[in-house]
Amino acid sequence: MPPRHGVYNFSAGPSHMPLAVVDRIREELLDLGETGIGLMEHSHRGSSYMNASAEAADVCRRLAGVGDDYAVFFMPGGATVQFGLLALNFLVGDQVGAYADTSVWARKAIDEAQPMRNVHVAFDGRQGDTFRCPDPDLAGSDLEAPSDARYLFYCANNTGEGTWYAKPPQSDLPLIGDLTSDIFSRPWPFDKHAMCLAAGQKNLGAAGCSLIIARRDFIESATSKLGPILRFSDHEKAESILNTPPTFAVRVMGLMAEWTEAQGGPAAIAARNELKSSMVWDTVDESGGFYRSRAAVSARSHLNVTFETGNDSLDRTFLTEAKSAGLENLAGLAGVGGMRASMYNAFPVKGAEILVELMKDFARRNG
Ligand code: PMP
């Protein structure tokens, strides 16, 4: 797909979207399905929006491959809002939520829960200068969680650090995954989870709304001492229309999920994501030490590649040169620094190729 204005957008989110989806949204903003009413002007109680919302949930259900024992629905608010709701819904009295702390976003989930409820940190992925995830070969023995914890929360892809879980952590506890930056980027066993959540702004398009895929009995086990608007199960029972939902974002999520399915689904997309990311990771490895990354090799993400030269001023020069070459938004997360190439499902392979050319040329000139 050709870049717009010669720009490749490596933004970590909101991020690059397929032009076909953007074009469709442009049409629907004027007129949704030949109704003469634009997408954002339709009543959320009318059949046009209700069908669009139901279709969005259906396609997400197909991509996740879950059965009827799972609910698939949309919650207002991004991932951070859901982090707070998790604690409110599932932690009552002395109950403890266990968290694997592998990143700034996992830490955000802890920070949202801790002022209200009991939190136990089951894993610290930020020892020394390297970012790690639990070792999949250790079958969960490097996670230390109370056996009666209400759930184990983990962040599947650590957007800022450039690490991911090759597979979900092993635990007998109900598993809650934050899949905000890797949803539908690879086959994932949703049916091993009590709940997965993902905000929209990466592989699902629009910010401000979250997709929830959760075991029905789990969300129904939430405390009843909460107003309906804060309870996951009330949103699900109301078919994601408990109050006025973020209609635009839900429609965009549906269109992004349809696009994902048309590409061949998570398995086909995973191969392309691996191709793009391995080009960049290989360039880091083959640079003779010019580039380095704090992401543990065993946990390298296929969506966010983080690297640095070890010299802040050289990093800044790299970012300036990248920008002049049309490679935008390559700066690392504040607090992590360096460079970060975010290449989600819709990001073109060509963008990765151009980045790699620049990295090699820059290393030759500055190494
Ligand atoms: N989790 C992950 C993995 C993220 O990358 C982000 C940032 N998009 C969040 C959570 C927070 O999402 P939001 O800004 O929608 O609350």
∠ CA 201-207-213, rounded to 5°: 75
**Do 296 and 206 have their domain in common?**
no
Pairing of strands 175-178, 151-155: parallel
CA 225 to chain centre: 30
Domains identified in the chain, total number = 2
Q: Which of 244, 262, 280 is the last residue of a domain?
A: 262
**Do 96 and 240 have their domain in common?**
yes
Q: Is residue 224 domain-resident?
A: yes
**Do 217 and 314 have their domain in common?**
no
Q: Which of 150, 185, 188 is nearest to 169 (CA)?
A: 188
Task: Please give the average per-residue pLDDT across 27-51, as a whole number.
Answer: 98
Nearest CA to ligand 1 atom 15: 78
Sequence-distant (6+) residues with CB within 8 A of 106 are 99, 100, 125, 153, 154, 155, 158, 178
Rg (CA), the chain: 21
The residue count of the chain comes to 367
- Chain-wide mean pLDDT for the chain? 97
The lowest-confidence range among 112-121, 125-134, 338-347 is 125-134
For residue 6, pLDDT beyond 90: no
Task: Please give the average per-residue pLDDT across 73-97, as a whole number.
Answer: 98
Span from the CA of 35 to the centroid of ligand 1 (angstroms): 35
**Do 332 and 270 have their domain in common?**
yes
CA distance 112 to 117: 9
Q: Is residue 3 domain-resident?
A: no
**Do 125 and 268 have their domain in common?**
no
Which residues face 214 on adjacent strands? Answer: 71, 195
User: Which residue did the predictor score with more confidence, 128 or 186?
Assistant: 186
Ligand 1, pocket residues at CB < 6 Å: 13, 78-80, 105, 155, 159, 178, 180-181, 199, 201, 207
**Do 34 and 134 have their domain in common?**
yes
**Do 156 and 256 have their domain in common?**
yes
Tokens of 218: 């789990």
For 85, how many CA atoms within 13 A lie in the half-sphere containing its CB? Answer: 23
Q: Is residue 96 domain-resident?
A: yes
**Cα end-to-end distance, the chain, whole Å:** 33
Which residues face 197 on adjacent strands? Answer: 178, 212
Q: Tell me the CATH number at 327.
A: 3.90.1150.10
Q: Which of 7, 12, 106 is nearest to 339 (CA)?
A: 12
Give the residue numbers spanning the domain of 316.
264-366
Do 82 and 210 meet the contact criterion of CB atoms below 8 Å apart? yes
Do 39 and 33 meet the contact criterion of CB atoms below 8 Å apart? no
The confidence score (pLDDT) of residue 1 equals: 58
Q: How confident is the model at residue 2 (pLDDT cuts 50, 70, 90)?
A: low
| pLDDT tens profile 136-148 | 999 899 999 999 9
Q: How confident is the model at residue 335 (pLDDT cuts 50, 70, 90)?
A: confident
Q: Tell me the CATH number at 97.
A: 3.40.640.10
Q: Which residues are catalytic?
A: 105, 178, 202
| pLDDT tens profile 173-231 | 999 999 999 999 999 999 999 999 999 999 999 999 999 999 999 999 999 999 999 99
| pLDDT tens profile 236-273 | 999 999 999 999 999 999 999 999 999 999 999 999 99
**Do 180 and 280 have their domain in common?**
no
**Do 150 and 229 have their domain in common?**
yes
CA 244 to chain centre: 24
Does the bond joining 14 to the residue before it have cis omega, within 30 degrees of 0? yes
Q: How confident is the model at residue 126 (pLDDT cuts 50, 70, 90)?
A: confident
**Do 248 and 311 have their domain in common?**
no
Q: Percentage of the chain with pLDDT > 90?
A: 96
**Do 158 and 299 have their domain in common?**
no
Model pTM? 0.98
| pLDDT tens profile 285-325 | 999 999 999 999 999 999 999 999 999 999 999 999 999 99
Q: SS3 for 12? A: coil
**Do 328 and 240 have their domain in common?**
no
For residue 28, pLDDT beyond 80: yes
Q: For ligand 1, what atom is nearest to the CA of residue 199? A: 15
